Structure 1
Amino acid sequence: MEFRQLQLFVAVAEELHFGRAASRVRMAQPPFSQQIRKLESELGVDLLIRTSRRVALTPAGQQLLAHAKALFAKRAEAIASVRHVAKGEAGLLRVGFGASSAFGVLPEIIRRFRIRHPQVILRLDDRESLDIGAALSHGDLDIAILRAPFQYEGIETEPLFQERFVLALPQDHPLAGKKRIAMAALAGESFILFPRAIAPGLHDTIASICIQAGFSPRVVHEASSWPSVISLVKAGLGITIAPSSAKSVLSDGVVFKALPEMPARAELVLAFPRRVLSPAAMLFREVASAAMR
């Protein structure tokens, strides 16, 4: 039993007239009738009651009509689904991100993407940077948002967003009341940073900033999320240099200060395999780029 046979049967079952049904499917009536007879022969049942005055469905014909309509609906659904996936408008999209990039732009990009492409299932994966590189390379992730600099064999990056660094201090810190803070004034401070294993780009950038100011940061505590870093700062355990988006971590006991003399910027990049992007990943790339303009 083929789809074409079912299409012919549905036509005659709905028209209850061989001439009109044949015309509806653009066939001559004799071959049309032959195909219906062939279908009945293959199934071993009578689907239609034929008289000189009328055509009617047998109980078996009524049952086949219900099944045929359900099959056609599933077929249309499958075709539409496949086409949506091919366009990136449906299916699964696996997005990786580092803990240091979880604040700021990521929530806004996700919000916009879900509004524009609600049928795409987003799977967000928080990993260490090197793990993200491996996952992208092995095909376990489709695209990722990471702190620059980031390098991994076979993975391309493109700039997404830049923001200033700020200094986070406990509110009772002696420098908290200063209007302008020189980097050199931080030489003796205790620093709280992300572990290098989790965010090597961010860790190395902050270390480089300090070295350029004439000192190496004395890291006394490490934490793997901005809420944890800021909480440790609030507790008076040290200070940190953070992207300005970290200010979205609400904390009454922390003061954020601009560092005017700092030339470096905290940069986020999109990372993806060098091979052709999936359609859904391409749409995510477009939304992310548009969100940051």
Structure 2
Amino acid sequence: MEFRQLELFVAVAEELHFGRAAARVGMAQPPFSQRIRGLEAELGVQLLTRTSRRVALTAAGTQLLEDARSLLSRRADVVHAVQRAASGQAGTLRVGFAASSAFGVLPDIVLRFRTRFPDVKLELDDSESLDVRAALATGALDVAIVRAPFRPEGLIVERLLRERFVLALPARHPRARQKVVALSSLAHEPFVLFPRHSAPGLHDTVTSMCLAAGFSPHIRQEASSWPSVVGMVEAGLGITIAPASSQALRPKGVVFRPLSGAPAHAELAVAFLGPQPSPAVQHFRALAHEAVSRSGKNTSE
């Protein structure tokens, strides 16, 4: 039994006239009648009673009409759902992000996406053990917000913004009274940083910046989430160097100061598998750029 047979049957069941039903579906009456008889033979039941004056549904025909309408409607729903998924209007989008990339713009990107594409389910993954490179390469993730530099083979990485670094330190720290802190003066300070595996680009940029200032940072504690980093800084376990957007969270007991002698910048990027990302990924990418542009952040800051 084919969908086309069901369409023909529904036409004659609703018209109760073979001539009108055949015209409705664009067929000549003889082959139309033959297809209906073939359906009855396939099912082994009589669906219609026919006389020279009228056509009527049998009990089996009445049941098939109900079921056929349901099947044809379901088919249309399936086709519509598949087409929406193919255009990025529905389905699931798996988004990864390291804790250090959640500052500032990520909530805005997610809000914009949910508003524009409410039928796409967003699955966000910020687990500490997340290997973004591998997850994107294997398809476990569809797209990610990452800290640059991030240049794994086979992935497309587009910069969203570029921002300066700031120093985060306990409010009671002696240097908290300074308006600007020289990076070179931090040589003997204990640091709290993200572990390298969770944010390799950010970790390497900070450590390289310190080495250029004449010292290797003494990392006393590591934490994979920004709240944990802030909590350790507030507790006096160390200081940290973070992207300027981290100030938006306004943690209690922690102050931020500009750094002098810190030429490097923190870069935020969107990464996905190339060369032909899915429509949903393209929508997310476009909204990520839009969110940064509308936020007023200067990518050359």
In 2, the alpha carbon distance for the partners of 1:274 and 1:19 equals 55
Aligned residues: 293
Identify the residue that residue 34 of structure 1 maps to in structure 2: 34
1:56-95 counterparts in 2 under 5 A?
56-95=56-95
Deviation, 1:242, is 0.6
1:230–1:249 Cα contact (<8 Å) kept? no
In 2, the alpha carbon distance for the partners of 1:129 and 1:267 equals 22
More displaced stretch, 260-269 vs 108-117: 260-269
In 2, the alpha carbon distance for the partners of 1:196 and 1:91 equals 33
Deviation, 1:38, is 2.0
Deviations 1:91-126 (A, max 9, x none): 222222112112322221111111111222222222
Structure 1, unaligned runs of 5 or more = none
SS in 2 for 1:153: coil
Identify the residue that residue 98 of structure 1 maps to in structure 2: 98
In 2, the alpha carbon distance for the partners of 1:139 and 1:207 equals 31
Note closer, same or farther for the CA distance 1:68–1:50 as it changes in structure 2 (3 Å cut).
same
Is 2:14 the counterpart of 1:14?
Answer: yes
SS in 2 for 1:41: helix
TM-score (norm 1): 0.93
- Equivalent residue letter for 1:241: I
In 2, the alpha carbon distance for the partners of 1:283 and 1:267 equals 21
In 1, the alpha carbon distance for the partners of 2:211 and 2:28 equals 87
Deviation, 1:227, is 0.5
In 1, the alpha carbon distance for the partners of 2:267 and 2:67 equals 57
Structure 2, unaligned runs of 5 or more = 294-301
SS in 2 for 1:60: helix
More displaced stretch, 211-220 vs 55-64: 211-220
Deviation, 1:62, is 0.5
1:85–1:91 Cα contact (<8 Å) kept? yes
Is 2:109 the counterpart of 1:134?
Answer: no
Is 2:269 the counterpart of 1:262?
Answer: no
Identify the residue that residue 179 of structure 2 maps to in structure 1: 179
More displaced stretch, 205-214 vs 167-176: 205-214
Identify the residue that residue 24 of structure 1 maps to in structure 2: 24
In 2, the alpha carbon distance for the partners of 1:22 and 1:273 equals 51
Identify the residue that residue 150 of structure 2 maps to in structure 1: 150
- Equivalent residue letter for 2:5: Q
Identify the residue that residue 122 of structure 1 maps to in structure 2: 122
SS in 2 for 1:210: helix
TM-score (norm 2): 0.91
Deviation, 1:226, is 0.8
